[in-house]
Amino acid sequence: MNSYPLPDDDAAELQQIAGCEMVDLLLPDMNGLLRGKRITRDALEKVYANGVCLPMSLIATDITGNTVEETGLGYDIGDEDRICRPVPGTLKIIPWQKKPMAQVLLGMEDGHGEMFEANPREVLKRVLDRFTAKGLTPVVAVELEFYLLDKTLHKDGRPKTSINPATGERNKTTQVYYMEDLNDYQGFTDAVTDACRAQHIPADTAVAEYAPGQFEINLKHRKDALLACDDSIMLKRVIKEVASQQNLLASFMAKPFVDQAGSGMHIHVSVLDKEGKNIFASTPEKPADTLRHAIGGMQKSSKDCMLMFAPHANSYRRFVLNAFVPLNDCWGFNNRTVAMRIPHSDEANTRIEHRISGADANPYLVTAAVLAGILHGLENKFDPGPPIVGNAYEQTEQRTLFWRDTIDDFMASDFITSNFGEKFRHIFGQQKQKEMRTFYTQVTTLEYEWYLRAV
């Protein structure tokens, strides 16, 4: 038994970190950013025993780190602290620091000793509880695309593509799935692999993507969707930290370059029944009704959940024609032009790949929205229509998305309230409204170019 109140897995992990001096306490906020505290190793037992106090407003700070008073979590409640407790099983070494350090995820409580319902991880957990009540288990994997950029930006703050470490020249061309790019950046990918191995992050595939310096790293599927999303949050941190050490900037911005591909977050989902059988198992010639209903539910809920898939102003620049980004809610087998793709696989491993979200979204909230949509479809037996064969861009009506509209749709949605709670809808909606209002108060360089002399 432990002589201190750490769970056995966390205690065993800590014992492997010889000379650990500091521990990062990490609280993922609604934007998926990691906030928290750094404590000494000696204070860790107290945190496990009693928790640590953090302002409740941290959960819903805007993307710039400012409190959103409209959420009611700031001055209205005196900017109260809430107890945050370590999530068991998430204590890991930080392998990129010069001195031995550890990190652990936190979950925030409300004022009554229960988990705060608007905490993104808790939002997902409540959806998973509904699956459990039906004897169902989602199996989830997350794919993340990102850019490796020059750490030095242009004078106006715009990014530069990175300098290829093998050639010494700035990346200019697109070589999708090009093995030479992986060879050239092997120092980066090897360091990411080493860090993932040290932190038990199940990353298994890296590919060069569809733009200069763009890559994708895939995570293995998990029968625990919470752990799958923990993996993606921690993988982002690994990628950013390793890149920084190699004088690179890793960005998960949805669309950093207007003339290059955007970065997506693809969620792969299958669902197991009580006997461990995949309820989606089927063939393209005869898709299972459960598969069709699940897709139909995601289609029905997509508009309500779009703000969770595309939460930022820049998110909407990703939705452009002929860029492997879905412009509607259609589906199909082995087809990358649709929103809900059924990847090629054997019958038993049939799964849905949800392709709408950008890499800038919060994986807990995206996965919660995807799974809630699946439940919605299974419960109501929605018909998704026929699968698309061939180019979906030419066969379907393309929608144009605007940030303001998706915020309004989210705030007016009964689906959001019934599946994620009124408090979550209010806090996340107010956070995004505040960000939008702030964004539109800025005068852009393009406005000066167009209007300063002309009007």
Contacts of 149 (CB under 8 A, 6+ apart): 159, 160, 161, 162, 213, 248, 249, 250, 251, 256
Q: What are the chain's domains?
A: 8-116 (3.10.20.70), 127-420 (3.30.590.10)
User: Dihedrals φ, ψ of 310, to 5°?
Assistant: -135, 80
Give the other-Cβ count within 10 Å of 20's Cβ: 18
Of the pLDDT bands very low, low, confident and very high (cuts 50, 70, 90), residue 2 is: very low
CB burial of 253-289 (b: ≥16 within 10 Å; e: otherwise) equals bbbbbeebbbbbbbbbbbbbeeeeebbbbbeeeebbe
Model confidence at 85: pLDDT above 80: yes
Q: What is the mean pLDDT of residues 113-125?
A: 95
Is the separation of the CB atoms in 87 and 104 below 8 Å? Answer: yes
Tokens representing residue 355 in the block:
């392709």
pTM for the structure as a whole: 0.95
Tell whether the torsion through CA atoms of 326, 328, 334 and 335 is positive or negative: negative
Looking at residues 90-104, what average pLDDT do you find? 96
* Parallel, antiparallel or unpaired: strands 81-86 and 34-40: unpaired
Inform me whether the pLDDT recorded for 174 exceeds 70. no
Q: Provide the 3-class DSSP secondary structure of residue 306.
A: helix
- Run of H or E including 219: strand 214-219
Task: List beta partners, residue 271.
Answer: 138
Question: What are the structure tokens assigned to 408, written together?
Answer: 């309004």
> In the predicted model, is pLDDT for residue 1 greater than 50?
no
DSSP string covering 268-289: EEEEE-TTS-BTT--BTTB--H
CA 54 from chain center: how many Å?
Answer: 23
DSSP 139-153: EEEEEEEEEEEESSP
Kindly report the CA angle at 146 between 303 and 89, in degrees rounded to 5? 85
Chain centroid to Cα 434, Å, comes to 21
Q: Do the bridges between strand 137-150 and strand 214-219 make them parallel or antiparallel, or are there none, so unpaired?
A: antiparallel
201-212 pLDDT per residue, tens: 999 877 766 677
Binning pLDDT at 50, 70 and 90, where does residue 179 land?
low
Question: With contact defined as beta carbons under 8 Å apart, do 163 and 170 qualify?
Answer: yes
Candidates 36, 250, 61, 258; CA nearest to 144 is: 250
**C-alpha–C-alpha distance, residues 431 and 433, integer Å:** 6
Average pLDDT of the segment spanning 440-452: 93
Nearest to residue 216, comparing CAs of 316, 366, 359, 312?
359
Interval 298-323 mean pLDDT: 95
CA-nearest of 147, 153, 170 to 254 is 147
pLDDT of 162 = 85
**205: exposed, middle or buried (C-beta count within 10 Å: 0-12, 13-18, 19+)?**
exposed
The predicted pLDDT at position 177 comes to 54
Residue 176 has a pLDDT of: 55
Which residue stretches of 246-362 are H helix?
A: 289-309
More confident residue, 163 or 128: 128
First and final C-alpha spacing in the chain: 76
Residue with tokens 């598969």: 291
Q: What average pLDDT does the segment 250-269 reach? A: 94
Question: What's the chain's average pLDDT?
Answer: 93
CB within 8 Å of 365: residues ≥ 6 apart? 30, 32, 120, 123, 124, 308, 311, 428
Q: How confident is the model at residue 267 (pLDDT cuts 50, 70, 90)?
A: very high
Name the pLDDT band for 178 (thresholds 50, 70, 90): low
Furthest-apart CA atoms within the chain: distance in Å: 76
Amino acid at 421: G
Label residue 173 by pLDDT band (50, 70, 90): low
The answer to whether residues 352 and 368 touch, using CB atoms and an 8 Å cutoff, is no
Non-local CB neighbours of 133 within 8 Å, separated by 6+ positions: none
Pair 273, 346: CB distance under 8 Å: no
Whole-number CA gyration radius for the chain: 22
Using an 8 Å Cβ cutoff, are 315 and 366 in contact?
no
More confident residue, 207 or 228: 228
